[in-house]
Structure 1
Amino acid sequence: MKTFFSFIKKEFRHIFRDRRTILIVLVMPVVQIILFGFAVSTEVHNARVDVVGDSNDPAVRQIVERIDRNPYLNVEAVYESVSEVPERFRQGRADVAVCFERNFDERLHHYGQASVRLLGDGSDPNTAQMIVNYVNGVLSDVQSELGTQGDSPQAAFPHVQYMYNPAVRSSYNFVPGVMGLILMLVCSMMTAISIVREKESGTMELLLVSPIRPIGVIISKAIPYLVLSLVNLVTILLLARFVLGVPLRGSLLLLSVVSVLFILASLGIGLLISVISSTQKTALLISGMGLTMPTMIFSGIIFPCESMPVVLQYVSDIIPAKWYIIMVKKVMIEGVGFGYIYQEFTILLLMTLFLLAVSVRLFKRRL
């Protein structure tokens, strides 16, 4: 029995001597429960609502005040023409538009019926449906009050329409997210493992003493994964268009440029992981914890970033996949041009240059 307990004691010592095991067994569950507890939420806070109607109409003004008092909704703008709604959606300034017909108050009190139409941004169907439900809740309260006052309860019953995605297909949301996740993992994880494999086996030094300069060695290691990522991009786009029915309303050239930029950013991350990793196991661990989970949580693939605490929203801003997914949705689903995504493109470009510069600089020093 004493021998048996000595083996148990030995195993505990092995575990506590290995920092990676302690990180996985004790630290990672704490980090996961904190992140999932605060970041994972299906609620949408501070949803942006536009109102289309006469701001001087008493009934319209009353309903707008009720919407703005809702803790989940913020009225951003009130204008008279529904033709402005698509432009507001493309600029990312509104999530839902509540459209009142002309002479809403007069039709409401004299005829007992007045139509309300809800226009949601269907490029993100999950978030749009949630916000529409919030607005519907406010209108239902108004409808109930009208019923108690003797007016027709049909007055506040809305007609819902989702722009860019009338059928509210979930593929419109997850296809851009999957594109970002796949390209990120293929480029960064495979690049890091490939370079670390050379360092671990001792062959990297042999490559560096070859006639090719060190930067040439790094580029030659990264180019195959760039090509494979482009093949993956073409495959995903073909499947999304002809199998899943996701449209490509924007420029294919613009989408390709954005994707290549994101691939370069992912290669920069892979080089950075290779710098701080001495073994393939370490590279895999960093890629798994440092890329897969944060990308899925903080890029908006599954959960809206707007529903997270402010601190975690700042964390999401440093995830390159977030900006790439935003641009892919705008180009593929909304069909916008470069003028509508130049801010996200600039942020991703700066991230790419920074990652590549830091990675190459540290890599040369380390070797």
Structure 2
Amino acid sequence: MGTQHLSQPELYIGLMSGTSLDGIDAVLVDFAPPAPTLLGKFFFPFDDALRQAVLALHLPAQNELHQTQLIANQLATLYAQAVNALLALTCHTPQQILAIGCHGQTIRHCPEHGYTLQIGNAALLAELTSITVVSDFRSRDIAAGGQGAPLVPAFHDKLLRAPGVHRVIVNIGGISNLTNLAPGVTTSGFDCGPGNLLMDAWCMQHLKRSYDANGAWAATGRVLPELLQLMLAEPFFALPPPKSSGRDLFNMQWLQSKLTGDESPEDVQATLLELTCRTIAEAIQTQCAGAQAVYLCGGGAHNLTLLNRLATLLSSSIVQTTNELGVDSDFLEAIAFAWLAQQNLQGLPANLPLVTGARHSCILGAVYPA
């Protein structure tokens, strides 16, 4: 990210709460030339009750429409608290912010049926913050025949492309996705498969912890070849890009359907980590051949067991986090959604048809004025 600007500031806030359901990443970014500058960052954790309530929305239930709206309102309130904390931290006022780019919380992602659903009541967020909100970034791309995801490759292209260097950016959140930044080639990207979501869910079930810190628990187990092959046989992995996925496919029911019940929990965790690493590595080897450097971001970038395993599988590439490029690996996605809000207000398209499969470029997002 750049240094402080001398020109007129262009201040945007980005909010990201992803599939991992750990909480809200909030950033304040100045997009004035020559380069985006991260002015502040704030993390607002979700409590277990909210996490479980959102997880429950992924499955059909009685009165789910009412529950969805109530949780959307709750999320908007939490988003507003995160925004206010960020403004206080950076000594800014709502009047100085051009817009908030709010991803919202995905509870359904079904591009094959022509829709995706991210909740968070953007109108209420605009009311609570007195700042214009841009949200619902994925629907316009899906309306144009695309997957609606991943959306961050367009921002990776703007921020992280380097002349003459073949880079791949891998975001390991709940789902893992990659961006291929090959010199002289149009940027491409797609979802690889599960990132942290299965490991986190298995860890919660057996250790009552929301994630496996540094992959320490996984490191005590051994990979189960039969289980790994069963999981790798999932048709999603063999699909060519463009492709995207989420909890609609990769969830605990999916995992349980592969288990005999005789496996030790730590061996399952080791195998889930191997699944994440193998699907990322194979995606890079088949779709990003010749990659010189692979940069990780998202929560999975903290998992040293995972990082070391990826480095082994991708031995011909440098494997590091985006911190090495001067971009905070924890907040890169939130910065991307601030940028998506800026693109919307400037009337500029922000999807990459090669990535999502859309028929054409689109201006993304719905605007709720302050």
* TM-score category, normalised to shorter length: under 0.3
TM-score, scaled relative to structure 1: 0.25
Q: Which structure is higher in helix share?
A: 1
Rg: which structure is higher? Answer: 1
TM-score, scaled relative to structure 2: 0.24
